[in-house]
Structures are given as C-alpha cells and as structure tokens.
C-alpha cells in the first residue's frame, strides 16, 4: 500500500484540538491522542510522546484503516482505526486523560458502564433531544494489547452506540463525531457530565 501524506488542513485541525484540550489540562505528561479521517482508507493520528499543546505537522502520521500499522504510530492507533472501520459516519476521534474520567472509570469498572440520568447536557450529544432518560457510557478494562482491546470494544459497541464515547478503566475518555467540531462538543459534554457525576458521588456516598 502506498503511503499518503497528511493534508495540511487535517494537521491544522489536530493542532487546534490539541491546543484546546492542553489548555484545560486534559492531556498531562504528553498523554492523549487525536485523529481525523482523511479518506475511505486512511486516517491521520498524532504520534505518541509529543506535546499535545504544540502539535507540529511532523507529529501527525497517516495510517491505513486496513493492513499493518506504519513505524512510529502510537500504540493506541488500533483503537482509532477500529472506530473508523466500525462506523463510517465517524470523522474525528479525541482521547484525553482527565481526573474525572480516570476516577469514575475505575469506580465503575466492575459494572462495565456509567449511567447518567436527567441532565440537560445530554442534548450536547448528536441525536439526543431531551434531558429525559438515561445515557449509558461503556467502560472497558484497560489492556496494553490495544489490537485485542479494539476488537473487544467494537464487538461490545455492536450495532448500537448509546453515547459517542467510552471510558477505559484507569486510563481515560474516548469521544468521536462526524466532524472534529462534533467530536469536541461530545468531549466537552461528556467531560462535564463526568464532573457532575463525580461531584454527586462525593455527596451521595
């Protein structure tokens, strides 16, 4: 398979979301990664170990959605690729490490999900038009074998995605959308819901 270049507007979009989340402290210690679909067969993904608040063009790599990962790809690239393969409507994916996501993903790891009920912020998620009802955010066990982890996640998400994101236990939050604007809105909405849920659990325990 021929390698393709990362379009400059795609690299610029990844740099912009990086500045946004880094300013909020959501990608400490070079953690987190971001991606955007380039075309039917490729996605652009940030390399590991780079400062996510200052992503340069060389910090982004084009990866094929099928076939082996190129050298230099982040260890979490399979999680991104599997989502693009699993849902053709996804155009962008963001992954962050926040305190709320980390702590709640550990607290809910045994249950395998976190329930969020009755928040107006539900409406920040594409297709949700009311605060009524319950959202169920999946939580998956963390695994350094990200290829196997990606397969288990895609199998579990199945045909239905209750929310455009999931938690990895002790690890962080993934969120996606049709565009980077949608992915960022979903990220902000889910993180806000996590912060509220964490605060309520402090009070209710």
User: What are the residues binding its own copies (CB under 8 A)?
Assistant: 24-25, 28-31, 97, 99, 102-103, 106-107, 118-121, 124, 129-132, 142, 144, 168, 170-172, 185-186, 188-189, 191-192, 195-196, 198-203, 205
Q: From the CB of 155, what's the least distance to its own copies, in Å?
A: 22
Q: Compare residues 64 and 119 and give the one whose CB is closer to its own copies.
A: 119
In 3D space, the residue among 109, 116, 94, 99 whose CA is nearest the CA of residue 193 turns out to be: 116
Helix or strand holding residue 203 (H, E): helix 180-204
Q: From the CB of 143, what's the least distance to its own copies, in Å?
A: 9
Task: Please say whether the beta carbons of 68 and 157 come within 8 A.
Answer: no
CB atoms within 10 A of CB 180: 21
Q: From the CB of 80, what's the least distance to its own copies, in Å?
A: 16
Q: Compare residues 143 and 161 and give the one whose CB is closer to its own copies.
A: 143
Q: Compare residues 72 and 133 and give the one whose CB is closer to its own copies.
A: 133
In 3D space, the residue among 166, 191, 164 whose CA is nearest the CA of residue 26 turns out to be: 191
Spatial distance between the Cα atoms of 195 and 177, rounded to a whole number of angstroms? 21
Q: From the CB of 204, what's the least distance to its own copies, in Å?
A: 9
């Amino acid at each position: 398979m021929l390698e393709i270049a990362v379009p400059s507007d795609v690299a610029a979009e990844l740099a912009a979301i990086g500045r946004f989340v880094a300013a909020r402290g959501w990608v400490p210690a070079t953690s987190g990664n971001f991606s955007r679909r380039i075309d039917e067969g490729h996605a652009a993904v940030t390399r590991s170990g780079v400062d996510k608040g200052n992503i340069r063009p060389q910090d982004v790599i084009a990866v094929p959605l099928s076939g082996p990962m190129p050298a230099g790809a982040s260890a979490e690239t399979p999680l991104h690729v599997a989502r693009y393969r699993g849902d053709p409507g996804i155009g962008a994916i963001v992954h962050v490490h926040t305190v709320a996501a980390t702590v709640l993903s550990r607290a809910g790891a045994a249950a395998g999900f976190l329930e969020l009920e009755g928040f107006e912020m539900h409406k920040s998620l594409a297709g949700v038009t009311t605060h009524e009802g319950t959202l169920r955010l999946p939580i998956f066990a963390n695994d350094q074998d990200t290829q196997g982890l990606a397969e288990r996640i895609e199998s579990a998400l199945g045909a239905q995605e209750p929310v455009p994101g999931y938690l990895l236990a002790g690890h962080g939050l993934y969120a996606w959308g049709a565009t980077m604007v949608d992915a960022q809105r979903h990220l902000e909405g889910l993180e806000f819901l996590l912060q509220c849920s964490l605060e309520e659990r402090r009070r209710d325990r």
